[in-house]
Amino acid sequence: MDAEQLKRLERKETAHIPDILSEFNTKNADLLVFDSFHTDNQWHDLWLAIFGILDDATMATLHSQCLNTVRILTRDEFSLQTHYIEQELSTLLSLARIDASSIEVDLDEELSDAQANITAEALKCLCNLVYQSADCRRQCLRQHSLDAIVKRLATDSSMHNYPSTLEYYDLKLLFLLTALEPTARTRLQIDLNGLIYMTKWLDDKLAESATVTSDEQLNIICELLKVMFTVTSAPDKSPNEYEIQSLHLTGVLRELLLRFGCLSTERERAVVTHAINLLTNISGSCLSELTLKCSNETETESVPSAATECIAGAAQSPGKCCAVCFEKRNVRCLEVLLEYLRGGLAQQETEASSHELLSPVLTVLVKCARSNRIMRHYLRKEILPPLKDVSQRPEIGHELRNHLCRFLTLPAMILRDLAAELLFVLCKEDVGRMIKYTGYGNAAGLFAKRGVLDCRRIEGADYSSDSEDSDTEEYKQQQQSFNPVLGCVEQPKRNPLEGMSEEQKEYEALQLVNLLEQLRKDGIVQPALIDKDGKPQPLEHILQLQEELPQQQLEQKRKT
């Protein structure tokens, strides 16, 4: 923008302003680098000229274009940090109708299209400012923007008189405030009872779109779930009060998963993603709400201890995927979580690994398996079905068990630990069963962490005792050849010491000791013994293994 155009904006020459702003907005629509605006104080001069127009109520027809220009200028973090913009922020809050004075205004009146457009543009500008500046966030809170947004959303929920575009940007601004400002989370949760209101809003959204949901509505639901995630990340209410709210919220999330769990579109998958993220903040004791008792019609069609798709469930709940009955409970939500996990695993194989995609769903599955016997039984049936073919290593293949076994040796600690925890819980923390399904080599890291490298039983594990025998006839036939370290049947191999004299064997043994000692000195490997707590303790010399061997053999005989 040249000096003459800037002067015309400052003089408020109405005849020229639309063309000047239109040219600027089109040319700089994708501008992210503002170095040229920092010379001659151009950014600040343009900023003040635009807000001179915005503060003039007689030029309201130009406000939408001006706000588009402001939205571009608010991308410049350097200028926002180096200039005092408190007055301008107050103007934007007023135009967005979320300043202190807006709390007392009756929101029942309809907005015209022009007013709604100005409000939406002002909210976009505020989103940029809140994201860029901590001072702006604090000023928004001082002017009670949080209260005004909550009031408007509550009014919108009951009166349906605000455009969905405004609702979307209200929620987007609410998310940025709560995500970046801890005091905003506390105020929304404690003072404004935000979780109660938002759970009701989410329930209302699902009721409004009982059959067909547009992408616009799905975007609003996603933003609402994001706000709820930030609010529940650090609950400040009493445990009992928070659990009551969480039970209600889990029930609403159950309906959401049933509605969009088919994952037929990208937006539906995004909704499920945010719902899973929110479930990670829910107490495990509340997750039993994800399953409901099957109806009488469904029960008659279900097979005990086996999942059965029930067409009756779909008939009773239009727009939802079929119910899945397992031990008289509808575990369709768990099936949705497993389908989501399979999709994430498939995506991981074809694209760059995204731990953020898989870790939340694994966290929720671990919580479900720990909190409820029926959910654990169903997940075990799907993830760790009875073994039949053990000819391949457990990490080879495309089943869920194979994927999770591969995670056990990942350098990424989050996925590795979550996969190990899930498999161990599904094995009811039984070391022998874990070895059978994963192999000792894959699970050694978990055993070392838990202090069960010597395969001792974990004391105090609280699991039901009515577990069925998981050994199939096919497995029993191959059990004698089963290698517990590899987790599969090992084909017979020729003895490498065959044909050697005793002197040659001794020589090779000494060579091996020397090589291991050299690796230890170089820090490549660290030999260890298992102490009385079942955890590895480093050795000072490799020959200590030989000294401790007789004692280990004696202890092993006592255990057997």
Burial 352-370 (b: 16+ CB within 10 A, else e): eeeeebbbbbbbbbbbbbb
d(CA 371, CA 364): 11
Query: Which among 297-306, 396-405, 438-447, 497-506 has the top mean pLDDT?
Result: 396-405
pLDDT at residue 431, as a whole number:
87
Q: Among the listed ranges 336-340, 480-484, 520-524, which one has the minimum average pLDDT value? A: 480-484
- C-alpha 436/C-alpha 438 separation (Å) is 6
Give the whole-angstrom CA distance, residue 102 versus residue 166: 15
Helix (H) or strand (E) holding 401: helix 400-407
182-225: pLDDT as tens digits = 999 999 988 888 888 899 999 988 887 666 678 888 999 999 99
Q: How far apart are CA 421 and CA 369, in angstroms?
A: 10
Residue 317 has a pLDDT of 42
Residue 109 DSSP class: S
Q: What is the pLDDT of residue 464?
A: 64
> Which residues partner with 306 through β-bridges?
303
From CA 80, how far away is CA 136, in angstroms rounded?
10
- Region 240-248 average pLDDT: 82
* CA separation for the pair 286, 470 (Å, rounded): 29
Beta strands in 53-92 (DSSP E): none
Query: In this model, does residue 48 exceed pLDDT 60?
Result: yes
Using the predicted structure, report yes or no on whether residue 516 has a pLDDT greater than 50.
yes
pLDDT given for residue 26 in this prediction = 95
What pLDDT, on a 0 to 100 scale, did the predictor assign at position 482? 79
What pLDDT score was predicted for residue 152? 87
Neighbours of 532 (CB within 10 A): 9
> Among all chains, which residue has been given the structure tokens 């002002």?
122
Residues β-bridged to residue 530: 536
Res. 272: pLDDT tops 80 = yes
Chain mean position to CA 45? 43
Distance CA 320, CA 256 (A): 9
CA–CA gap between residue 216 and residue 220 (Å, rounded)? 6
In the structure encoding, which two tokens stand for residue 24, read together? 């600027």
Mean pLDDT, all residues of the chain: 84
Measured torsion, CA atoms of residues 459, 462, 465, 468, in degrees rounded to the nearest 10: -100
Q: Which residue has the tokens 């004696």?
A: 554
What are 403-426's pLDDT values in tens digits?
Answer: 999 999 888 788 999 999 999 999
**How far is residue 299's CA from residue 211's CA, in Å, rounded to a whole number?**
26
pLDDT, tens only, 154-190: 876 554 567 889 999 999 999 999 999 999 999 998 8
Nearest to 180 by CA among 128, 118, 144, 143: 128
225 touches 278 (CB < 8 A): yes
Distance CA(395)–CA(293), nearest Å, equals 36
- Higher-pLDDT residue of 509, 493: 509
Report residue 469 as tokens. 């025998």
Report pTM.
Answer: 0.84
Cα 524 to Cα 442, 515, 521: the distances in Å are 20, 11, 8
Write the pLDDT tens digit of every residue in 371-408. Answer: 999 999 999 999 998 888 777 889 998 999 999 999 99
Give Cα 282 to chain centroid, integer Å.
12
CA–CA separation, 241 vs 315, rounded Å?
36
209, exposed or middle or buried, with CB in 10 Å at 0-12, 13-18, 19+? middle
CA distance linking residue 298 with residue 380, whole number of Å: 22
Q: Are 427 and 442 in contact (CB under 8 A)?
A: no
pLDDT at 54: 95
**Least-confidence region, from 227-231, 245-249, 267-271, 307-311:** 307-311
pLDDT at 533 over 70: yes
- The reported pLDDT for the residue numbered 366 is 96
Is 529 a residue whose pLDDT tops 60?
A: yes
CA distance 338 to 375: 12
Q: What is the pLDDT of residue 318?
A: 39
Specify the 3-state DSSP secondary structure of 387. strand
Judged against a pLDDT cut of 60, whether residue 557 lies above it is answered with: no
